Each structure stands twice: as C-alpha cells, then as structure tokens.
Structure 1
C-alpha cells in the first residue's frame, strides 16, 4: 500500500509541475495499425539495433539487423493459440544467405502474442511539452517501484490533429536496483517514418517455404510412411544425442518411437485440454519409465504426526476469499527442477522440494538447496530402497530423526545409490513432522498450499503424461488408487473456465512446461488429492 501511494504522489507531482500541462489532451494511446522504424540504443551495454515494425490488431512483424531476421506473429482465437514465423539467413557450402523459415504453433501454456516495440500507455502521465529536433512535442512519464527495483519511462509524442492520434517520437527507459542504488538498464528508442496504414503483403510468408517445429511435425507426419518416420526419428536422435549400441537396439527404439507417434497423433486429433508431442522420453520402454517414478505406497494407516489445523467449517469460510490464481514460484521458495533419470527416487525429490519451500518460508525467504541424495543413501532402515523406490512417509520419518543437509555440503544428486555420509555433516535441517491434508478436498489443498506449501503429492503417472508438452492434463484412465509417482504441488490457476494445479515434476527442465505440468482439478485427477502432505519445522 505504501508503494502504491508513493507512486500516486509521484505521478500527481509530475502532472502538476510547470505551466505547460494541458488537461484537454486526448488519452495517450496508439493506433490499432501502424508501421514505423526505430533505433534502439542501450546506453548500459553499448548495443545499437535498427528495427522495422508493422502492426495490426491481429498481426505483428519485426525486422532486425536491416531485415536479416524477420519475426511475424499471428494472433488467433478459439483453441488456436497463435502462430509465429522466424525467418533468418543461412550460408552453407551449397548456398549463400538463403532464408530459412521456422513455424511455431502456440499452446495453452505458451500462446503466441503480438510483439510490441511501443510501451503500453496505461499509467503514463502527461508532464508538459519539450523541444526536440523535430519541434515541440508532448512528454509523458511512468514510474513503477517495488522493494527490489525502480523503473522510469519517458515517452515523447505529438498529436496528429487531422486524425487525433498520437505519433511516437522517442522513448527512454531507466531500471534501477533499489537495494544497491545502481542503474541496471538505460535504453533509448528513437522512432521515425511512422505511417498510420499497413500493407497486408508485409505479412506474406509463402515465399519462405516455412517448416513446422518438431512438435507440430509429430502431429502432421504420416506414421504409415516409413521414410517420414525415419526422418523424424533421425531428428530426435540428433536433438537428444541418442547413440544406440547396435542395430537391434536402434530398431527397438525406432519401433517405440513410432508407437508413441501414433499415440500422440491419436490424442491430438481429439478435442482435448492438453497436447502431446515428441519429447526426450519418446524412445523409452514402459519398464524404463517405471524407473522414472519409484513411489511405493505408504503403509496402511500411516499418517502425519501433526494434525491438519483446519476444520470443515474453517475451510469453508477461508475458501470464500482465496485468490483465483496462486504460484509459489513467484515467492522464490521453489528450487530448480531436477531430472531423476533412471533412478526411482521421485519419493526423495518430491519430499525434499516440500522441505526446501517450508524452510524458506520459515527463515525469511532464504532458499537452500537440500540434498535428496542423502535420502537415497541413508534412509534404507525406514522401509525405503534408494533408487528402487520408497514412500513419502519413510522420507519424512528419516528427516525427523536426521534432517536434510545442503547439497553444498553433502554433494549433488548423482542418479545412483551411494555411501551414506550424513554423520559427517556439520549442519542438517531436521523437521518437526509432517501433516496430511484432508484428502479429496480442493479447498483444503488450496488453503494448505497458500499457508504451508509447497506440498508433496502422490499421483498415478500414466503413459499419456510421458508425452505431455502443454495444456491442462486430464486422463480418465488414471487410477487414483494406484499411485506411483511423487511430485510437488506449487500453485493453481485458471484458463478459460478450467482450473488446474501447477505441479513440479522430476523429469528435467526439458520435459513438459519447463519441467512442470498443469493437471485438472476435476475428479481427483490422477489421485492428486489422495495423499497430499506438507512439512512442519
């Protein structure tokens, strides 16, 4: 609230300074379509860029480096999330400066948006007039400040009296590190050759023979054409550095890859809330995928030692005021995504992430990287078996007795069982206990996430999840009673009326949505509300 009031006072001050402020000016906003050229000068890095720009309400194009790089974005409605074309020159032994075009389809998690080189005009305040090289123009200022950063923007524009529209002339941006009192970024943009109309031909891409990205190709390829499958499989091997030991393994992997292509195409041809695509797991056998899970169910009747502190009536009252969206990653209490590879240790990664988040929230926001490898090496006496699997309760009971050390002292995750070194540690972080959240309750899960999260949750990870690349995952074949994978719940959100949980997985940053996936809140999707837990310090 203080920062908001500070911002308002600043804008009121600058808006009343001087005698040149005109209250009868129309609102500063840009035309729905226009073209211009710009020179961007970074006074902090010394970089100078020349750009050409075209914009309509549904399309944008930016040319960089005197037209060498062209980026065309197309906004689309409905279930199409836009298109983007990246065009660049390539020179090889066969040709010189040949334009290559890559087409990318947007998705629910990564929709294509139009590129803007003019700032949003909301919150800019008119402060008077100034004389630039072209003559007298109007000046506007914008200020935003939080605990870490302060941003100032000044834009100069003049009003075209014939059309009552604003024409940009210059933009200057300053970004300061508030803690250090240091200038981080200082950019200056000069705009010229502004035109209020756009010839639609500038968006034509037919001459560039654009090819689709790998994910699009997995949907469009003819899986009954051997040469097509071979071509995509070769690209997959190159992208993921696959080197098979002999022809037999090569043929086995290719057959698995082809089967997954068929699964991807069959799914994507249906009306679904999520999309499948070729990812790094496209050549893995079901047995290998089991090694990328590893959850063993807790013993019957085994529950947390700290009771859930909310009654049904408490939850009903609190849930009336919950935010529509919540994401703990924005609070800086979620560590980077790990890749468990072929060690069945999801039970250590999901629980360790919960401990890291709880510790950060308990110590003023300081996030420490804790060593899940210690659980793999040392917790065998708690009914767990290292890379051969374990339970969340086994992990918690061990952490109650010994505590987790930091990765810095114990060592990083190494995808293998190892010698236990817990008794050599100078400091560990034991937990007081863990709490089982009321099962099968969306409200209880949201309240626990906001007040105590992140949470370690158990799910049934199916074959469809293996090929997930975007969207809100919902697989009716999931069996909520057959939980086989431990993951970390970090938030929830909403898209076009569908609500979803934001889940951190342990299959690497290059899987899913940067290592995460969104899963529907409907019907206890894949068992996510069956056994959620959080830790207590």
Structure 2
C-alpha cells in the first residue's frame, strides 16, 4: 500500500515538473497525413489519406484507399466548393465514377478541412510511449450542457535546420462523458501512420479534366456525413449535422421520447449508427446502407427482432424428393434464369413484426401462403401469424420470444390448417390469447420438406416448383440491420445451423453482375431494405440462406 501511495505522488510530481519541448505547438500550414479512424462504439475502423494546404486554402481526404475522395476548395466560386468523387451504381451503370458538388454560401462557406485538431487550449501533461514511440501528451477538456469532452493529443517533434521543432502527430483521442446519461456517450481516436510537411503539388487538388461535377441539392452543412465526414472528429467541436439528421429521423418515424434522458440516450445511439452507415457506404461494399426506423435501437433491441431458435437433430420433415439427376435436368428444361413470385401475386405485403421476436411465424406463414396460392388456382389468401404466436407453444415455440418453422408446421398438421388473418384478427406484435378453436382453419398441409442443404440448384428448383421458401439466416450484423439496396454480401456472416438467428422468406432468385442472389422478404416493415426486401448473395452460402430451407406440401 505504501508503495502505491508513493508511486501515485511521484507521478503527480513528475507530471507537474515535466517541461514541454514546445510550449504552444502549431501544425504546419501544409501537410500530408495517412492514418486510421477508430470508433469503438460504432465498431468502425476506417483508413484515410489527407492533404492539407492552408496557404492555397484547399484540402483533400480520401477514404478506404481512395474509394471515395472528398475535396474542400475554399477559393473556388464565391464561397468555396465541396466535392465528392465516388463510384455510383444504378440500374444502367455499375460503379460509374461520379463527381458530386456542393457550393458554399455566405452563411456556410467551404473551408479546408484539417485532420489535426486545433491545439489552442491544450496543456502538456507529460510523456508517454505510444506504439514504441516516445511522445508528449497534451490534453484539453471542454464542457457544454451535460457533456464533458476530453481530448488527448500524442505527438513527437522533428528538429528543423533553424533550430526550431516541427510537431508530428502520433495519436488523437476523444472521450465524451454525459452527466445526464451517467456514462460515456462517445469515444473515437485517430492513429497517424505517416506525416510529411513538404509542399503539395497543385494537381492533388484538381479534379480530372474529363469529369463534370453534378450539383448536389441543399447547403453544404447538411451533407457533412457524405461530403466531409472528418469534420465532426476535429476541434472545434461541431454536431449541428447530428441534430439535423436526428430531427429528420424523429419526424419521419414519429419518435416522441418521454424524458430528456431518453432523448439523449437515443440521440447518441443514432449518432453511432449514422457514422456506421456512412462509413460502410464509403467502403463501396456492393450494397448501400440507409437510415431506417431502427437507427435509434440498441444492440439488445435489434437482437430481440431476431427470434429464430435452434434445435439440433432431425426436425421431422421429408427429404428433398429430387435427385441430383432431376436437378440437372431441371436446370436445362424448366428452371428460369430468374424468378420473382411477387410478379405472379403469390406474396402478401410486407409487415412489421414490431418489438416481438416473431420472425419465425412470418417465414412460416409466407411459405404456406405461397403453397396455398399454387394449390387453389392462384388465389392469394392472407394467413394469420398471430395464430401461430398464440397457439403453437405446445410444440416448442415461444411466441414473441422465438420459435422455429417446423414446430409451426407440426401444430398445423395436428389441427388441420391455420386461420386466415381476416377471421383470426390482425397481427398484434405481442403474445395473445389463442382462439383458433373458434374460427375455421384453411390451407391444410400434408407435411413439410427439407430442401437439400447448401445446394444452390436445389433451392432454385424448390422455389420454382413450390413457391416461396421459409429460410433461416444470420442477421446479427449491423450491415443487415441498416441494409437499403444492392447485392448483400457480408464476409463476417455465419452459415452453420446453430448460427442462424432470423427467419425470412425466399420469394425468388436472379443474377446481378454475374452473381446469383436470393430475393428475400423480411418482416421489419417497408422502411427496412428495399421496401422490405433484400437481395442476398448466394456466394459461399453467405448468411446461411441455403442451410435450412423448408416448404410445405398440400
């Protein structure tokens, strides 16, 4: 104990006695930097390369190895211009390199963007070894409202020929504490791997001669996340763009938080999700993410939407009745290159399962509705998810706390069908009283079939001959939560039977850019995805679409 006390006071004495090498360090007016932004709360690691020229009042920041380039040119036009060059994919063009431009205004002029914080107000607090480099440590604390932000800069110095010193950045960190929340609300840091304060060639800030920039609507301060994402990480502190986006979100989705505490909590969740969405879009993954109704949800709340359970062993289904030879013949004779059962009227509108882990009931009912459509001459009948939520507990399902499709099939086999939504009543988004005995049942099934696992052609044949198919997937990644459009492929996705946590409906398939995809209907409302749908890559059985597909027989 004595030793710890001695060490504590010795540290205080050392820090107070430490003399900074430079009293008020000032960054070079011109520099080139390479580094990485790390945001733990948003689970992001994003590389960048930046050029800053304070003399010519120009800056450029590239993200993900130049996948997206941003320019801040203060001397262009009357109030400067902000430019973004990025690959854009439309129905007609794939990854077309496009130049987008926002013009500054008198109220919001464009200025060059630093990637090094303004060090005015920072105090030198000692030395520290960072990644094997001896650095000086500077800190600055800023308070506003309920928030206390602590900024730390680690730097070293290079001696100049005139005897002066040039500061070289090593690491910059921000930790934000919200006294209302009683916890840290933000944390990010930038690691600087390369620094050079030599003059920068003017060509660095020039857009290619053969490229015409297209105007982007709205003032520049409303496009921080897309045109200048670095701004929010640098001092002086700025978060007007967060307020703007959060107000838009609350208005669109009718969010009214009961307390100031809840409002602050949801805003900070939204902030991190917004960063995640735009960072992943800059990475050009082949699909886009978007701000949807889930953007203020915690990880736990998102997990609650994924209610697919797992039971090992045989589920009681029949084997896929087509041999490998049958499948090969079908590929040549009857299987279309692409198929969308929505076009034939076999799919009911997308619903919102709400705050209920009932995804399993939607995948199940979708498969039954499709089979019933084929059975009764193309007449689509809306069947009741709520009946399965309320009534199939005896077969191992747990209502809003999760379930499995085969257990719902077993309940139907015993009871002789399922109620229509019109007779049973609307979906409630919660567990309810079972009253299936008081209504008539339709869509009687004779059994269910397990499609051959991890077989693209088998699943295509099943969809083509038997309609929409109930499938389980790994939906645990935030890229899935905020998917908007494009061909979804998530390298981190799992596909083992015990690694799938969400049940959905495969309503078709097709080919995009040479890649086979599954057209999948989700149950998170039309605000999610592309009007409630997603194109999921079939490559490597990504996310497990081909692991446990089932359909019913009638």
- In the superposition, the TM-score normalised over structure 2's length comes to 0.59
Query: Once the 2 structures are TM-superposed, how far is the Cα of residue 427 of structure 1 from its aligned partner?
Result: 3.5
Query: Once the 2 structures are TM-superposed, how far is the Cα of residue 442 of structure 1 from its aligned partner?
Result: 0.2
Equivalent residues of 2:224, 2:241 under 8 A apart: no
Equivalent residues of 1:218, 1:278 under 8 A apart: no
Query: Distance between the aligned counterparts of 1:505 and 1:214, measured in 2?
Result: 35
* 1:83–1:313 distance in 2 versus 1, CA, 3 Å: farther
Q: Deviations over 1:412-469 (max 9, x none)?
A: 1011111110110133332111100000000000000000121000000022101100
Query: Once the 2 structures are TM-superposed, how far is the Cα of residue 75 of structure 1 from its aligned partner?
Result: 9.4
Pairwise mapping of residues 120-519 of structure 1 onto structure 2 (< 5 A)?
Answer: 210-211=217-218, 219-220=226-227, 222=229, 223-224=232-233, 225-304=238-317, 306-321=318-333, 322-402=335-415, 403-461=417-475, 462-481=477-496, 482-519=499-536
Equivalent residues of 1:376, 1:385 under 8 A apart: yes
Equivalent residues of 2:99, 2:214 under 8 A apart: no
Partner residue of 1:165? none
* 1:76–1:220 distance in 2 versus 1, CA, 3 Å: farther
Tell which deviates more after alignment, 421-430 or 364-373: 421-430
Matched, 1:521 2:538: yes
Partner residue of 1:112? none
* 1:380–1:221 distance in 2 versus 1, CA, 3 Å: farther
- Partner SS state of residue 211, structure 1: coil
Q: Deviations over 1:167-204 (max 9, x none)?
A: xxxxxxxxxxxxxxxxxxxxxxxxxxxxxxxxxxxx99
Q: Alignment length, in residue pairs?
A: 344
* 1:213–1:349 distance in 2 versus 1, CA, 3 Å: farther
Query: Distance between the aligned counterparts of 1:278 and 1:212, measured in 2?
Result: 20
- Partner SS state of residue 470, structure 2: strand
* 1:205–1:465 distance in 2 versus 1, CA, 3 Å: closer
Equivalent residues of 1:401, 1:430 under 8 A apart: no
Query: Distance between the aligned counterparts of 2:431 and 2:387, measured in 1?
Result: 10
Equivalent residues of 1:215, 1:277 under 8 A apart: no
Query: Distance between the aligned counterparts of 1:83 and 1:354, measured in 2?
Result: 45
Query: Distance between the aligned counterparts of 2:220 and 2:514, measured in 1?
Result: 29
* 1:81–1:492 distance in 2 versus 1, CA, 3 Å: farther
Of the three residues 83, 95, 114, the one matched with 1:79 is: 95
Query: Once the 2 structures are TM-superposed, how far is the Cα of residue 340 of structure 1 from its aligned partner?
Result: 0.2
Query: Once the 2 structures are TM-superposed, how far is the Cα of residue 478 of structure 1 from its aligned partner?
Result: 0.9
Query: Distance between the aligned counterparts of 2:218 and 2:270, measured in 1?
Result: 21
Equivalent residues of 1:457, 1:532 under 8 A apart: yes
Equivalent residues of 1:471, 1:518 under 8 A apart: yes
Tell which deviates more after alignment, 248-257 or 458-467: 248-257
Query: Once the 2 structures are TM-superposed, how far is the Cα of residue 500 of structure 1 from its aligned partner?
Result: 0.9
Query: Once the 2 structures are TM-superposed, how far is the Cα of residue 214 of structure 1 from its aligned partner?
Result: 13
Gaps of 5+ in 2: 1-89, 102-211
Query: Once the 2 structures are TM-superposed, how far is the Cα of residue 396 of structure 1 from its aligned partner?
Result: 1.0
Query: Once the 2 structures are TM-superposed, how far is the Cα of residue 301 of structure 1 from its aligned partner?
Result: 2.2
- Partner SS state of residue 379, structure 1: helix
* 1:518–1:236 distance in 2 versus 1, CA, 3 Å: same
Query: Once the 2 structures are TM-superposed, how far is the Cα of residue 498 of structure 1 from its aligned partner?
Result: 2.2
* 1:235–1:381 distance in 2 versus 1, CA, 3 Å: same
Gaps of 5+ in 1: 1-73, 86-202
Equivalent residues of 1:298, 1:393 under 8 A apart: no
Equivalent residues of 1:278, 1:467 under 8 A apart: yes
Query: Distance between the aligned counterparts of 1:471 and 1:215, measured in 2?
Result: 25
- In the superposition, the TM-score normalised over structure 1's length comes to 0.61
Query: Once the 2 structures are TM-superposed, how far is the Cα of residue 261 of structure 1 from its aligned partner?
Result: 1.6
* 1:484–1:502 distance in 2 versus 1, CA, 3 Å: same
Partner residue of 1:39? none
- Partner SS state of residue 301, structure 1: coil
Query: Once the 2 structures are TM-superposed, how far is the Cα of residue 216 of structure 1 from its aligned partner?
Result: 7.8
Query: Distance between the aligned counterparts of 2:394 and 2:285, measured in 1?
Result: 44
Q: Deviations over 1:325-361 (max 9, x none)?
A: 1111111110111100101000101100100010010
* 1:221–1:260 distance in 2 versus 1, CA, 3 Å: farther
Query: Once the 2 structures are TM-superposed, how far is the Cα of residue 317 of structure 1 from its aligned partner?
Result: 2.2
Query: Distance between the aligned counterparts of 1:212 and 1:332, measured in 2?
Result: 44
- Pairwise CA RMSD: 2.7
Query: Once the 2 structures are TM-superposed, how far is the Cα of residue 371 of structure 1 from its aligned partner?
Result: 0.6
* 1:213–1:286 distance in 2 versus 1, CA, 3 Å: farther
